[in-house]
Chain A
Amino acid sequence: MKQESLTTLQEHWDITYNHALGETGSHFYNALRDEGKILGRRCPACERVLLPPRPFCDRDFVDTTDWVEVGTEGRVEAFTVVFQSFRGLPEAPYCIAYVLLDGADTAVLNYVRGIDWTPGNVPQNIGVGTRVKVAFAEEREGRMTDFWFEKA
Protein backbone atom coordinates (compact mmCIF):
# COMPACT_ATOMS: atom_id res chain seq x y z
CA MET A 1 0.00 0.00 0.00
CA LYS A 2 1.28 3.47 -0.85
CA GLN A 3 2.16 5.53 2.24
CA GLU A 4 -0.02 8.63 2.51
CA SER A 5 2.08 11.83 2.66
CA LEU A 6 1.93 13.91 5.86
CA THR A 7 1.08 17.57 5.38
CA THR A 8 1.53 20.81 7.32
CA LEU A 9 -0.59 23.94 7.70
CA GLN A 10 1.09 27.33 7.55
CA GLU A 11 0.10 30.08 10.00
CA HIS A 12 1.51 33.56 10.70
CA TRP A 13 1.10 35.67 13.88
CA ASP A 14 0.88 39.45 13.38
CA ILE A 15 0.20 41.16 16.69
CA THR A 16 0.55 44.86 17.56
CA TYR A 17 1.24 46.16 21.08
CA ASN A 18 1.54 49.69 22.45
CA HIS A 19 3.79 49.01 25.42
CA ALA A 20 3.56 51.44 28.34
CA LEU A 21 7.06 52.74 29.12
CA GLY A 22 6.12 54.33 32.45
CA GLU A 23 7.67 57.52 33.86
CA THR A 24 11.22 56.19 34.02
CA GLY A 25 11.35 54.71 30.55
CA SER A 26 9.58 57.73 29.03
CA HIS A 27 12.06 60.22 30.54
CA PHE A 28 15.06 58.12 29.48
CA TYR A 29 13.89 58.01 25.89
CA ASN A 30 12.86 61.69 25.79
CA ALA A 31 16.34 62.73 27.01
CA LEU A 32 17.98 60.39 24.52
CA ARG A 33 15.91 61.67 21.61
CA ASP A 34 15.79 65.40 22.43
CA GLU A 35 19.13 66.03 24.17
CA GLY A 36 21.35 63.14 23.08
CA LYS A 37 21.93 62.18 26.73
CA ILE A 38 22.11 58.72 28.31
CA LEU A 39 20.58 58.80 31.79
CA GLY A 40 20.78 56.25 34.58
CA ARG A 41 18.87 56.07 37.89
CA ARG A 42 20.66 56.05 41.23
CA CYS A 43 19.64 53.76 44.09
CA PRO A 44 19.66 55.68 47.40
CA ALA A 45 20.75 52.59 49.35
CA CYS A 46 23.56 50.92 47.35
CA GLU A 47 24.25 54.10 45.32
CA ARG A 48 24.57 52.09 42.13
CA VAL A 49 23.71 54.00 38.97
CA LEU A 50 21.41 51.61 37.11
CA LEU A 51 21.49 51.63 33.33
CA PRO A 52 19.09 50.93 31.67
CA PRO A 53 17.26 53.07 34.24
CA ARG A 54 14.66 51.46 36.43
CA PRO A 55 12.14 52.88 38.90
CA PHE A 56 13.42 50.63 41.69
CA CYS A 57 16.58 48.80 42.76
CA ASP A 58 16.01 45.06 42.81
CA ARG A 59 18.90 44.52 45.22
CA ASP A 60 17.70 46.88 47.97
CA PHE A 61 14.04 46.77 46.96
CA VAL A 62 13.69 50.56 47.26
CA ASP A 63 12.64 53.18 44.72
CA THR A 64 15.45 54.87 42.81
CA THR A 65 15.65 58.60 43.50
CA ASP A 66 17.57 60.66 40.98
CA TRP A 67 18.72 60.81 37.40
CA VAL A 68 22.43 60.71 36.57
CA GLU A 69 23.89 61.46 33.14
CA VAL A 70 26.50 58.81 32.38
CA GLY A 71 29.59 59.15 30.19
CA THR A 72 29.83 58.39 26.49
CA GLU A 73 32.82 56.07 26.79
CA GLY A 74 33.05 52.73 28.50
CA ARG A 75 34.46 49.24 28.80
CA VAL A 76 33.23 46.10 27.02
CA GLU A 77 32.12 43.55 29.65
CA ALA A 78 30.73 40.89 27.31
CA PHE A 79 30.30 40.62 23.56
CA THR A 80 29.43 38.26 20.77
CA VAL A 81 29.68 38.47 17.00
CA VAL A 82 26.79 36.76 15.24
CA PHE A 83 27.47 35.08 11.88
CA GLN A 84 24.17 33.23 11.47
CA SER A 85 21.16 35.18 10.22
CA PHE A 86 17.80 34.22 11.71
CA ARG A 87 14.50 35.03 10.03
CA GLY A 88 13.03 38.06 11.83
CA LEU A 89 16.39 39.13 13.31
CA PRO A 90 19.05 41.33 11.64
CA GLU A 91 21.27 40.21 8.80
CA ALA A 92 24.60 38.78 10.06
CA PRO A 93 27.38 39.51 10.74
CA TYR A 94 26.97 41.97 13.59
CA CYS A 95 28.49 42.51 17.02
CA ILE A 96 26.51 43.24 20.19
CA ALA A 97 28.14 43.99 23.52
CA TYR A 98 27.36 44.82 27.14
CA VAL A 99 29.30 47.99 27.94
CA LEU A 100 29.90 49.55 31.36
CA LEU A 101 29.67 53.25 30.49
CA ASP A 102 31.77 55.55 32.66
CA GLY A 103 29.65 56.62 35.63
CA ALA A 104 27.24 53.69 35.37
CA ASP A 105 27.40 50.61 37.61
CA THR A 106 25.54 48.18 35.35
CA ALA A 107 26.30 47.35 31.73
CA VAL A 108 24.04 48.33 28.82
CA LEU A 109 23.59 46.36 25.61
CA ASN A 110 24.02 47.76 22.12
CA TYR A 111 25.64 47.16 18.74
CA VAL A 112 29.36 47.68 18.20
CA ARG A 113 29.68 49.06 14.68
CA GLY A 114 32.54 49.91 12.37
CA ILE A 115 34.35 46.56 12.13
CA ASP A 116 34.24 44.12 9.19
CA TRP A 117 33.78 40.80 10.94
CA THR A 118 34.96 37.37 9.89
CA PRO A 119 34.77 34.26 12.09
CA GLY A 120 38.57 34.37 12.31
CA ASN A 121 39.11 38.01 13.27
CA VAL A 122 36.90 38.32 16.34
CA PRO A 123 39.42 38.07 19.22
CA GLN A 124 41.85 40.45 17.49
CA ASN A 125 39.18 43.13 17.27
CA ILE A 126 37.29 42.99 20.55
CA GLY A 127 37.69 41.56 24.04
CA VAL A 128 36.48 41.97 27.60
CA GLY A 129 38.09 45.28 28.59
CA THR A 130 38.08 46.92 25.12
CA ARG A 131 37.31 50.65 25.37
CA VAL A 132 34.44 51.90 23.23
CA LYS A 133 32.66 55.23 22.70
CA VAL A 134 29.01 56.02 22.09
CA ALA A 135 27.90 57.27 18.68
CA PHE A 136 24.46 58.91 18.37
CA ALA A 137 22.16 58.78 15.36
CA GLU A 138 21.52 62.19 13.81
CA GLU A 139 17.79 61.53 13.55
CA ARG A 140 16.75 60.10 16.91
CA GLU A 141 13.32 58.61 17.56
CA GLY A 142 13.47 57.61 21.23
CA ARG A 143 14.70 54.03 20.82
CA MET A 144 17.74 52.05 21.95
CA THR A 145 18.86 52.09 18.32
CA ASP A 146 19.37 55.90 18.63
CA PHE A 147 22.91 55.08 19.73
CA TRP A 148 25.56 52.40 19.34
CA PHE A 149 29.20 51.79 20.23
CA GLU A 150 32.39 52.20 18.21
CA LYS A 151 35.94 51.42 19.24
CA ALA A 152 37.42 54.36 21.15
Chain B
Amino acid sequence: MREVAIAGIGQTKYSGLTDQSYPELVRAATKTVLEDAETTIDSVDAVVVSMAPDAIIGVSHGERWIVDACGAAGKPMMRVHTGGATGISAVQVAAYHVASGMYDTVMVVGADRVGESGDAQTILNRIWDPFYERAMPLNTITMLAFQAVRFMEKYGMTEEHMAAVSVKDHKNGCKNPYAHVQKEFTVEDVLGSRMISWPIKLYDSCPSSSGGAAMILTAGENVGRFPHKPAYIRGLGHASETYWMGDRMGPKKEVDHADSPALTQAAYAAYKMAGIQDHRREIQAWELYAPFSNIELHAIQDVGLCEPDETLKLLEDGAFDIDGDRPVNPSGGVLCANPISVTAMVRVAEAALQVQGRAGEHQIDGVKTALATGIGGDHQHFGAVVVGDGR
Protein backbone atom coordinates (compact mmCIF):
# COMPACT_ATOMS: atom_id res chain seq x y z
CA MET B 1 0.00 0.00 0.00
CA ARG B 2 1.12 3.55 -0.69
CA GLU B 3 1.68 6.05 2.09
CA VAL B 4 -1.24 8.48 2.51
CA ALA B 5 -0.60 12.08 3.58
CA ILE B 6 -3.01 14.83 4.63
CA ALA B 7 -2.41 17.76 2.27
CA GLY B 8 -5.15 20.12 3.38
CA ILE B 9 -7.81 20.68 6.02
CA GLY B 10 -10.86 22.95 5.74
CA GLN B 11 -13.51 23.71 8.30
CA THR B 12 -16.26 26.30 8.45
CA LYS B 13 -17.31 27.84 11.74
CA TYR B 14 -19.93 25.49 13.26
CA SER B 15 -23.10 27.17 14.43
CA GLY B 16 -26.82 26.95 14.86
CA LEU B 17 -27.33 29.54 12.14
CA THR B 18 -29.54 29.05 9.11
CA ASP B 19 -27.78 31.55 6.88
CA GLN B 20 -26.39 29.10 4.29
CA SER B 21 -27.96 26.23 2.31
CA TYR B 22 -26.48 22.73 2.26
CA PRO B 23 -24.69 23.22 -1.10
CA GLU B 24 -23.38 26.60 0.08
CA LEU B 25 -21.84 24.94 3.15
CA VAL B 26 -20.26 22.21 0.99
CA ARG B 27 -18.95 24.90 -1.35
CA ALA B 28 -17.50 26.81 1.62
CA ALA B 29 -15.75 23.68 2.95
CA THR B 30 -14.37 22.90 -0.51
CA LYS B 31 -13.04 26.43 -1.01
CA THR B 32 -11.45 26.39 2.44
CA VAL B 33 -9.63 23.09 1.93
CA LEU B 34 -8.35 24.12 -1.51
CA GLU B 35 -7.04 27.38 -0.04
CA ASP B 36 -5.43 25.50 2.84
CA ALA B 37 -3.70 23.10 0.45
CA GLU B 38 -2.83 25.99 -1.90
CA THR B 39 -4.20 24.04 -4.83
CA THR B 40 -7.14 23.96 -7.25
CA ILE B 41 -9.98 21.56 -7.86
CA ASP B 42 -8.10 20.31 -10.95
CA SER B 43 -5.59 18.56 -8.69
CA VAL B 44 -8.38 16.47 -7.10
CA ASP B 45 -8.74 13.08 -8.83
CA ALA B 46 -11.74 11.76 -6.89
CA VAL B 47 -14.25 12.94 -4.28
CA VAL B 48 -15.68 11.07 -1.29
CA VAL B 49 -18.83 12.63 0.17
CA SER B 50 -19.33 12.35 3.92
CA MET B 51 -23.09 12.29 4.40
CA ALA B 52 -25.11 10.80 7.28
CA PRO B 53 -28.95 10.34 7.28
CA ASP B 54 -30.16 12.65 4.52
CA ALA B 55 -33.56 13.11 6.21
CA ILE B 56 -31.70 15.58 8.43
CA ILE B 57 -31.21 17.98 5.52
CA GLY B 58 -34.51 16.85 3.97
CA VAL B 59 -33.19 15.76 0.57
CA SER B 60 -33.04 12.03 -0.21
CA HIS B 61 -29.90 11.04 -2.11
CA GLY B 62 -28.64 14.48 -1.13
CA GLU B 63 -25.14 13.91 -2.51
CA ARG B 64 -26.47 14.47 -6.02
CA TRP B 65 -27.37 18.02 -4.99
CA ILE B 66 -23.72 18.86 -4.23
CA VAL B 67 -21.80 17.38 -7.17
CA ASP B 68 -21.22 20.92 -8.44
CA ALA B 69 -20.57 22.50 -5.03
CA CYS B 70 -17.61 20.17 -4.46
CA GLY B 71 -16.37 20.19 -8.05
CA ALA B 72 -17.05 16.49 -8.63
CA ALA B 73 -18.59 16.71 -12.12
CA GLY B 74 -16.50 14.57 -14.43
CA LYS B 75 -14.80 12.84 -11.47
CA PRO B 76 -15.39 9.65 -9.54
CA MET B 77 -17.58 10.44 -6.53
CA MET B 78 -19.07 8.20 -3.90
CA ARG B 79 -21.00 8.80 -0.72
CA VAL B 80 -20.16 7.09 2.58
CA HIS B 81 -22.67 6.72 5.42
CA THR B 82 -22.17 4.97 8.77
CA GLY B 83 -24.29 7.32 10.91
CA GLY B 84 -22.23 9.26 13.46
CA ALA B 85 -19.10 7.46 12.24
CA THR B 86 -19.70 8.72 8.67
CA GLY B 87 -16.86 11.25 8.69
CA ILE B 88 -14.18 8.81 9.82
CA SER B 89 -15.48 6.13 7.44
CA ALA B 90 -15.33 8.64 4.58
CA VAL B 91 -11.72 9.51 5.45
CA GLN B 92 -10.92 5.80 5.47
CA VAL B 93 -12.50 5.30 2.03
CA ALA B 94 -10.51 8.27 0.70
CA ALA B 95 -7.36 6.75 2.23
CA TYR B 96 -8.08 3.40 0.51
CA HIS B 97 -8.48 5.28 -2.79
CA VAL B 98 -4.97 6.71 -2.41
CA ALA B 99 -3.28 3.72 -0.73
CA SER B 100 -4.52 1.37 -3.45
CA GLY B 101 -2.93 3.48 -6.17
CA MET B 102 -6.29 4.12 -7.85
CA TYR B 103 -6.07 7.89 -7.34
CA ASP B 104 -3.25 10.23 -6.33
CA THR B 105 -5.18 13.05 -4.66
CA VAL B 106 -8.65 12.65 -3.15
CA MET B 107 -10.93 15.14 -1.43
CA VAL B 108 -13.30 14.04 1.32
CA VAL B 109 -15.99 16.63 1.94
CA GLY B 110 -19.34 17.09 3.62
CA ALA B 111 -21.62 19.36 5.57
CA ASP B 112 -24.66 19.15 7.75
CA ARG B 113 -27.51 21.30 8.91
CA VAL B 114 -28.78 19.49 11.98
CA GLY B 115 -31.06 22.38 12.90
CA GLU B 116 -32.72 22.34 9.47
CA SER B 117 -35.83 20.50 10.63
CA GLY B 118 -35.83 20.90 14.39
CA ASP B 119 -37.01 17.28 14.48
CA ALA B 120 -33.58 15.62 14.48
CA GLN B 121 -34.48 13.21 17.28
CA THR B 122 -37.62 12.13 15.45
CA ILE B 123 -35.53 11.50 12.35
CA LEU B 124 -32.98 9.60 14.44
CA ASN B 125 -35.82 7.52 15.97
CA ARG B 126 -36.31 6.19 12.41
CA ILE B 127 -32.92 4.44 12.51
CA TRP B 128 -34.67 1.66 14.51
CA ASP B 129 -36.70 -1.10 12.92
CA PRO B 130 -40.41 -0.39 12.59
CA PHE B 131 -41.35 -3.82 14.01
CA TYR B 132 -40.05 -4.10 17.54
CA GLU B 133 -38.24 -1.00 18.70
CA ARG B 134 -39.29 2.18 16.95
CA ALA B 135 -42.65 2.34 18.75
CA MET B 136 -40.66 3.06 21.91
CA PRO B 137 -39.13 6.53 21.67
CA LEU B 138 -35.59 5.36 21.01
CA ASN B 139 -33.31 8.04 19.67
CA THR B 140 -29.61 8.80 19.95
CA ILE B 141 -30.10 10.39 23.39
CA THR B 142 -32.09 7.56 24.98
CA MET B 143 -29.78 4.90 23.50
CA LEU B 144 -26.79 6.57 25.12
CA ALA B 145 -28.66 7.19 28.38
CA PHE B 146 -28.95 3.36 28.52
CA GLN B 147 -25.15 3.26 28.11
CA ALA B 148 -24.72 5.76 30.94
CA VAL B 149 -26.94 3.75 33.27
CA ARG B 150 -25.02 0.54 32.63
CA PHE B 151 -21.65 2.34 32.91
CA MET B 152 -22.72 3.78 36.28
CA GLU B 153 -23.68 0.30 37.47
CA LYS B 154 -20.49 -1.35 36.19
CA TYR B 155 -17.83 1.27 36.95
CA GLY B 156 -19.35 3.64 39.53
CA MET B 157 -19.66 6.70 37.28
CA THR B 158 -21.74 9.48 38.84
CA GLU B 159 -23.55 12.48 37.37
CA GLU B 160 -20.65 14.56 38.78
CA HIS B 161 -18.14 12.58 36.67
CA MET B 162 -20.24 13.28 33.57
CA ALA B 163 -20.35 16.98 34.49
CA ALA B 164 -16.56 17.04 34.91
CA VAL B 165 -16.13 15.79 31.31
CA SER B 166 -18.48 18.50 30.05
CA VAL B 167 -16.64 21.22 32.00
CA LYS B 168 -13.28 20.05 30.57
CA ASP B 169 -14.49 19.86 26.95
CA HIS B 170 -16.29 23.20 27.04
CA LYS B 171 -13.19 24.85 28.47
CA ASN B 172 -11.21 23.45 25.53
CA GLY B 173 -13.90 24.50 23.06
CA CYS B 174 -13.36 28.14 24.06
CA LYS B 175 -9.87 27.84 22.52
CA ASN B 176 -11.23 26.48 19.20
CA PRO B 177 -12.39 29.19 16.77
CA TYR B 178 -14.54 26.67 14.84
CA ALA B 179 -16.46 25.38 17.89
CA HIS B 180 -20.21 25.97 17.92
CA VAL B 181 -20.42 26.25 21.73
CA GLN B 182 -17.74 28.57 23.12
CA LYS B 183 -18.83 28.91 26.70
CA GLU B 184 -17.32 27.68 29.96
CA PHE B 185 -19.51 25.88 32.49
CA THR B 186 -19.00 24.87 36.11
CA VAL B 187 -19.90 21.44 37.47
CA GLU B 188 -22.85 23.12 39.20
CA ASP B 189 -24.01 24.63 35.87
CA VAL B 190 -24.02 21.18 34.27
CA LEU B 191 -25.72 19.44 37.20
CA GLY B 192 -28.33 22.21 37.31
CA SER B 193 -29.04 22.19 33.57
CA ARG B 194 -32.33 20.77 32.26
CA MET B 195 -32.72 16.99 32.55
CA ILE B 196 -33.17 15.54 29.06
CA SER B 197 -33.02 11.75 29.43
CA TRP B 198 -31.86 10.66 32.87
CA PRO B 199 -28.93 10.87 33.64
CA ILE B 200 -28.11 13.01 30.55
CA LYS B 201 -28.69 16.74 30.99
CA LEU B 202 -28.62 19.59 28.51
CA TYR B 203 -24.97 20.47 29.17
CA ASP B 204 -23.90 16.81 28.96
CA SER B 205 -25.15 16.95 25.37
CA CYS B 206 -23.76 18.06 22.01
CA PRO B 207 -25.43 20.96 20.16
CA SER B 208 -27.33 20.63 16.85
CA SER B 209 -24.77 22.16 14.51
CA SER B 210 -24.54 23.38 10.95
CA GLY B 211 -21.23 23.55 9.14
CA GLY B 212 -18.95 21.88 6.64
CA ALA B 213 -15.54 20.22 6.62
CA ALA B 214 -13.16 18.80 4.04
CA MET B 215 -9.75 17.15 3.82
CA ILE B 216 -7.42 16.50 0.92
CA LEU B 217 -5.47 13.24 1.02
CA THR B 218 -2.59 12.57 -1.32
CA ALA B 219 0.02 9.90 -2.01
CA GLY B 220 3.06 10.24 0.28
CA GLU B 221 5.36 11.04 -2.64
CA ASN B 222 3.32 14.20 -3.38
CA VAL B 223 3.77 15.94 -0.03
CA GLY B 224 6.37 18.33 -1.41
CA ARG B 225 3.68 19.92 -3.61
CA PHE B 226 1.69 21.08 -0.61
CA PRO B 227 2.53 23.87 1.85
CA HIS B 228 2.21 22.34 5.31
CA LYS B 229 4.31 20.03 7.42
CA PRO B 230 3.01 16.62 6.36
CA ALA B 231 0.77 14.50 8.55
CA TYR B 232 0.37 10.88 7.52
CA ILE B 233 -2.52 8.49 7.95
CA ARG B 234 -0.64 5.68 9.60
CA GLY B 235 -3.32 3.37 10.93
CA LEU B 236 -6.93 2.56 10.10
CA GLY B 237 -9.47 0.40 11.94
CA HIS B 238 -13.21 -0.22 11.73
CA ALA B 239 -15.54 -2.67 13.49
CA SER B 240 -19.27 -3.08 14.16
CA GLU B 241 -21.46 -4.46 16.95
CA THR B 242 -24.80 -6.30 16.78
CA TYR B 243 -27.83 -4.18 15.92
CA TRP B 244 -29.69 -5.37 19.05
CA MET B 245 -28.97 -3.26 22.13
CA GLY B 246 -30.96 -5.79 24.20
CA ASP B 247 -28.41 -8.49 23.24
CA ARG B 248 -25.69 -6.41 24.94
CA MET B 249 -27.24 -7.11 28.36
CA GLY B 250 -27.97 -10.11 30.59
CA PRO B 251 -25.84 -13.13 31.55
CA LYS B 252 -25.46 -14.43 27.97
CA LYS B 253 -24.26 -11.15 26.44
CA GLU B 254 -21.02 -11.21 24.48
CA VAL B 255 -20.54 -7.46 24.73
CA ASP B 256 -21.93 -5.03 27.30
CA HIS B 257 -23.79 -1.90 26.16
CA ALA B 258 -21.73 -0.11 28.85
CA ASP B 259 -18.61 -0.74 26.76
CA SER B 260 -17.71 -1.03 23.09
CA PRO B 261 -15.40 -3.94 22.33
CA ALA B 262 -15.75 -3.00 18.65
CA LEU B 263 -14.16 0.38 19.43
CA THR B 264 -11.29 -1.47 21.11
CA GLN B 265 -11.00 -3.70 18.04
CA ALA B 266 -10.96 -0.68 15.69
CA ALA B 267 -8.40 1.24 17.78
CA TYR B 268 -6.03 -1.70 18.22
CA ALA B 269 -6.24 -2.52 14.49
CA ALA B 270 -5.18 1.07 13.80
CA TYR B 271 -2.33 0.88 16.37
CA LYS B 272 -1.08 -2.37 14.80
CA MET B 273 -1.16 -0.96 11.27
CA ALA B 274 0.73 2.11 12.51
CA GLY B 275 3.37 -0.09 14.13
CA ILE B 276 2.56 1.33 17.55
CA GLN B 277 3.74 -0.85 20.44
CA ASP B 278 2.83 1.32 23.43
CA HIS B 279 -0.05 3.57 22.43
CA ARG B 280 -0.26 5.36 25.80
CA ARG B 281 3.31 6.60 25.34
CA GLU B 282 3.46 6.93 21.57
CA ILE B 283 0.17 8.88 21.15
CA GLN B 284 0.12 12.40 22.62
CA ALA B 285 -3.34 13.69 21.63
CA TRP B 286 -6.72 11.94 21.56
CA GLU B 287 -9.75 13.17 19.62
CA LEU B 288 -12.44 10.75 20.75
CA TYR B 289 -15.96 10.94 19.33
CA ALA B 290 -18.36 11.53 22.23
CA PRO B 291 -21.69 13.31 21.65
CA PHE B 292 -22.59 12.98 25.34
CA SER B 293 -20.25 13.31 28.32
CA ASN B 294 -20.67 9.69 29.43
CA ILE B 295 -19.50 8.44 26.03
CA GLU B 296 -16.10 10.10 26.39
CA LEU B 297 -15.41 8.04 29.52
CA HIS B 298 -16.08 4.67 27.94
CA ALA B 299 -14.23 5.72 24.77
CA ILE B 300 -11.18 6.61 26.88
CA GLN B 301 -10.96 3.14 28.37
CA ASP B 302 -12.06 1.29 25.22
CA VAL B 303 -9.21 2.76 23.16
CA GLY B 304 -6.89 1.62 25.97
CA LEU B 305 -5.89 5.09 27.14
CA CYS B 306 -6.13 3.63 30.66
CA GLU B 307 -7.41 0.56 32.46
CA PRO B 308 -11.19 0.55 33.08
CA ASP B 309 -10.75 0.87 36.84
CA GLU B 310 -8.52 3.95 36.43
CA THR B 311 -10.76 6.13 34.22
CA LEU B 312 -12.72 8.00 36.89
CA LYS B 313 -9.67 8.57 39.11
CA LEU B 314 -7.63 9.92 36.17
CA LEU B 315 -10.55 12.20 35.24
CA GLU B 316 -10.64 13.55 38.81
CA ASP B 317 -6.85 14.05 38.70
CA GLY B 318 -7.05 16.07 35.46
CA ALA B 319 -5.10 13.56 33.35
CA PHE B 320 -7.45 14.14 30.36
CA ASP B 321 -7.20 17.95 30.54
CA ILE B 322 -5.47 19.79 27.70
CA ASP B 323 -2.40 20.19 29.96
CA GLY B 324 -2.72 16.71 31.47
CA ASP B 325 -0.54 13.79 30.47
CA ARG B 326 -3.33 12.11 28.40
CA PRO B 327 -5.18 15.03 26.78
CA VAL B 328 -8.59 14.10 25.36
CA ASN B 329 -10.54 16.33 22.98
CA PRO B 330 -8.35 19.45 23.03
CA SER B 331 -10.68 20.88 20.33
CA GLY B 332 -13.64 20.71 22.72
CA GLY B 333 -14.81 17.61 20.88
CA VAL B 334 -18.33 16.73 19.82
CA LEU B 335 -19.80 18.39 22.93
CA CYS B 336 -18.84 21.73 21.37
CA ALA B 337 -19.92 21.04 17.75
CA ASN B 338 -21.87 18.22 16.14
CA PRO B 339 -22.51 18.75 12.42
CA ILE B 340 -23.36 15.02 12.24
CA SER B 341 -22.25 14.21 8.67
CA VAL B 342 -18.72 15.55 9.23
CA THR B 343 -18.29 15.30 13.02
CA ALA B 344 -16.10 12.20 12.89
CA MET B 345 -14.06 13.68 9.99
CA VAL B 346 -13.37 16.67 12.20
CA ARG B 347 -11.85 14.29 14.78
CA VAL B 348 -9.30 13.20 12.13
CA ALA B 349 -8.78 16.80 11.00
CA GLU B 350 -8.12 17.92 14.58
CA ALA B 351 -5.73 15.00 15.13
CA ALA B 352 -3.86 16.10 12.00
CA LEU B 353 -3.76 19.76 13.10
CA GLN B 354 -2.18 18.63 16.39
CA VAL B 355 0.47 16.59 14.54
CA GLN B 356 1.19 19.48 12.17
CA GLY B 357 1.41 21.98 15.05
CA ARG B 358 -1.41 24.03 13.51
CA ALA B 359 -4.05 23.73 16.25
CA GLY B 360 -3.55 27.29 17.46
CA GLU B 361 -4.70 28.03 21.00
CA HIS B 362 -5.62 24.39 21.67
CA GLN B 363 -2.26 23.06 20.39
CA ILE B 364 -0.57 20.52 22.67
CA ASP B 365 3.21 20.68 22.70
CA GLY B 366 5.19 17.99 20.95
CA VAL B 367 2.44 15.90 19.37
CA LYS B 368 3.99 13.38 17.00
CA THR B 369 1.05 10.98 16.83
CA ALA B 370 -2.68 11.40 17.52
CA LEU B 371 -5.74 9.14 17.54
CA ALA B 372 -9.17 10.01 16.13
CA THR B 373 -12.32 7.91 16.57
CA GLY B 374 -15.92 7.88 15.36
CA ILE B 375 -19.09 6.12 16.52
CA GLY B 376 -22.30 5.56 14.55
CA GLY B 377 -25.58 3.63 14.48
CA ASP B 378 -27.02 2.48 17.81
CA HIS B 379 -23.56 2.57 19.36
CA GLN B 380 -22.66 0.12 16.69
CA HIS B 381 -20.16 1.25 14.01
CA PHE B 382 -16.72 2.27 15.25
CA GLY B 383 -13.80 3.76 13.34
CA ALA B 384 -10.28 4.72 14.41
CA VAL B 385 -7.50 6.57 12.56
CA VAL B 386 -3.92 7.10 13.72
CA VAL B 387 -2.31 10.26 12.33
CA GLY B 388 1.46 10.66 12.63
CA ASP B 389 4.22 13.02 11.57
CA GLY B 390 6.11 10.42 9.56
CA ARG B 391 7.32 6.85 9.48
A positions within 8 Å CB-CB of B: 6, 8, 11, 13, 17, 19, 21, 25, 46, 48, 50-52, 58-59, 77-84, 86-90, 94, 96, 98, 100, 105-111, 119, 122, 127-128, 143-145
Contact = CB atoms under 8 A, between A and B. Distances in A.
Contact of A88 (B122, B153, B250): B122
Contacts of B316: none
Contacts of B195: 83-84, 119
Contacts of B65: none
A17 to B, nearest CB: 7
Given A13-B55, A86-B119, A25 B131 contact: yes
A21 B131 contact: yes
A107 B250 contact: yes
A107 to B, nearest CB: 4
B150 interface: yes
B135 A89 contact: no
Interface in B136-157: 136-139, 141-142, 145-147, 149-150, 153
Most buried by A among B121, B132, B133, B245: B132
Given A78-B150, A82-B198, 4 more contacts: A82-B142, A88-B125, A109-B245, A122-B199
Nearest to B19: A6
Interface of B: 18-19, 55, 58, 118-119, 121-122, 125, 130-133, 135-139, 141-142, 145-147, 149-150, 153, 194-200, 242-247, 249-252, 254, 257
Given A106-B244, A111-B136, A89 B149 contact: no
Contacts of B119: 86-88
A98 B131 contact: no
Contacts of A109: 132-133, 136, 138, 245-246
- Sorted nearest first, the 5 A-B pairs with minimum C-beta distance are A88-B122, A80-B145, A107-B246, A77-B249, A119-B195
A78 B146 contact: yes
A128 B18 CA distance: 42
Contacts of B198: 80-83, 119, 122
Contact of A144 (B132, B149, B244, B250): B132
28 contacts: A19-B130, A21-B131, A77-B246, A78-B146, A79-B146, A81-B198, A82-B137, A82-B198, A83-B195, A83-B198, A84-B194, A86-B119, A86-B122, A87-B122, A96-B138, A96-B142, A98-B146, A105-B250, A105-B251, A107-B249, A108-B246, A110-B136, A111-B136, A119-B195, A127-B153, A128-B153, A144-B135, A145-B135
Contacts of B146: 78-80, 98
Contacts of A94: 137
Contacts of B142: 80, 82, 96
A52 B135 CA distance: 13
Contact of A83 (B19, B130, B197): B197
A111 B246 CA distance: 14
Most buried by B among A11, A52, A89, A145: A89
Contacts of B133: 52, 109, 144
B248 to A, nearest CB: 8
Given A52-B132, A84-B197, A144-B135, A78 B121 contact: no
